Amino acid sequence: MDFAPSAEVEELKLRVQNFFDQHILPRNEDWRREVFDCNNPAPAFLSELRVMAKAEGLWNLALPQLADDEPGTRLSNLEFAPIAEILGRLPWASNVFNCHAPNVPNMEILQLFATAEQKEKYLHPSLEGDITSTFAMTEPAVASSDATNIATRIDRDGDHYVINGRKWFATNAANESCAFAIVVGVTNSEAPRGRQHSIILVPTDTPGFEVVRVLPVFGHKDIVTPHSEVLLTDVRVPVSNLLGGEGEGFLIGQSRLGPARVHHCMRAIGQCEVLLRLMIERARNRVAFGNPLQSYSNVTDWIAESRLEIEQARLLVQKTAWMIDTVGNKAARKEISLIKVGVARAYENIANRAIQVFGALAVTDDGPFAGALAQARSFRLYDGPDEVHLRTIFRLEEAASRGDKALSPIYLNGPGAR
């Protein structure tokens, strides 16, 4: 495994870094004022920056499988990793380069499973940045960590499917630019559990598709890609809107989740780097009880431990990205679960330490700390809670050991070994 970026990737990373430093970071205060004070999720300058990024070839950086006529850089997941960290430093930076969730994983499954007609209507405008989308799977009435519980109905009626159900945490659904939803539901309740569900494309202007509310997360509402509750009441769409075949919902969903999880982890590491840098500056300049904070061992230990966790997380994410690129999502299942748990823990630990270092300021919205803690804690639930991923890790570890020679007779001695 060689994680060193090529000269071409290093050059592209430098271009992204320069664009970030010159055009994005200086506008962060403007973005915060527009979004939070004026409740405007799409400031005019954001569109201008997107046009600039596209013109400079810094577009669709997170999609390895682009066709020849589709705009983008065709970076592998491993090549995208250091760039994703840069974009992760601000919550809106990925949007500038058309690399934001949930658009990227949604475009990936359209690339893999959409028909030519579906690609023309949904994928191509998404690649151009003209529309955005949402993924509607999770439901409030069932434990959605077990996806076989999903209860929304997708019933065939002649040349149409009729959809009924309630979804929530359909990220981005309340955004005015959200043109379609990728909806998971039951098409055949009599089939084996793994073949009951299907995925269908639903334009958000279809009668019966209703955004009920935007869900706050730990008291904060995401205005740009709002977490939304959606009600589908007798929503009728053509049979041609089915993605893949009936009963293929889990197969399609799994192909989406691997890259989505690794990209979330990459961006989280970028946020951790920001928190660590802010901690270092605060510890150097803030005086308490007559001494700078960096003179106290607990603070220096927090900073050192944070660097340790970032480096460990980064290496495991790079390995996972490399595996997805070389052997695919299924073979990288254990690594995907490892980073999902490990990065979330590191992110939460570092956010907590930064809050202690910054004190009262950190519990306000005057910095990134409260938002980072809310995001890090949520990270332990979305895309599968820690417990599900730990169970997956155990099962794969236990299965890998079957057939191996028992170690107990070799390493254990005495009556306690028997």
- CB count in 10 Å sphere of residue 133: 28
Question: How far is it, in rounded angstroms, from Cα 279 to Cα 355?
Answer: 9
- pLDDT tens string 209-227: 999 999 999 988 887 788 9
Residue 369 predicted with pLDDT over 70: yes
**Strand ranges inside 249-352, DSSP E:** 287-288, 291-292
Taking the CA atoms of 112, 113, 115 and 117 in sequence, report the sign of the dihedral they define.
negative
Instruction: Report helix, strand or coil for 27.
Output: helix
pLDDT mean over 176-199? 95
Q: For residues 413 and 375, which has the higher predicted lDDT (pLDDT)?
A: 375
The amino acid present at 91, given as its one-letter code, is P
Give me the pLDDT at residue 418, please. Answer: 59
Among left, alpha and beta (phi > 0; psi -120 to 50; other), residue 385 is beta
pLDDT mean over 52-77? 95
Give me the pLDDT at residue 417, please. Answer: 60
SS (H, E, C) 56-105: CCCCCCCCCCCCCCCCCCCCCHHHHHHHHHHHCCCCCHHHHCCCCCCHHH
Question: How far is it, in rounded angstroms, from Cα 265 to Cα 261?
Answer: 6
- pLDDT tens string 303-317: 999 999 999 999 999
Give me the pLDDT at residue 290, please. Answer: 97
Residue 242 predicted with pLDDT over 90: yes
Taken in order of first residue, the domains within the chain and their CATH numbers are: 7-100 (1.10.540.10), 132-247 (2.40.110.10), 250-401 (1.20.140.10)
Question: How far is it, in rounded angstroms, from Cα 231 to Cα 3?
Answer: 45
Q: For residues 257 and 396, which has the higher predicted lDDT (pLDDT)?
A: 396
Residue bearing tokens 């997956």: 392
pLDDT mean over 13-37? 95
pLDDT mean over 245-261? 87
Give me the pLDDT at residue 416, please. Answer: 67
Mean pLDDT over each residue of the chain, to the nearest integer: 94
Q: Kindly state the percentage of the chain with pLDDT values over 90.
A: 84
- Alpha helices by DSSP H, 211-248: none
Radius of gyration over every alpha carbon of the chain, rounded to an integer in angstroms = 23
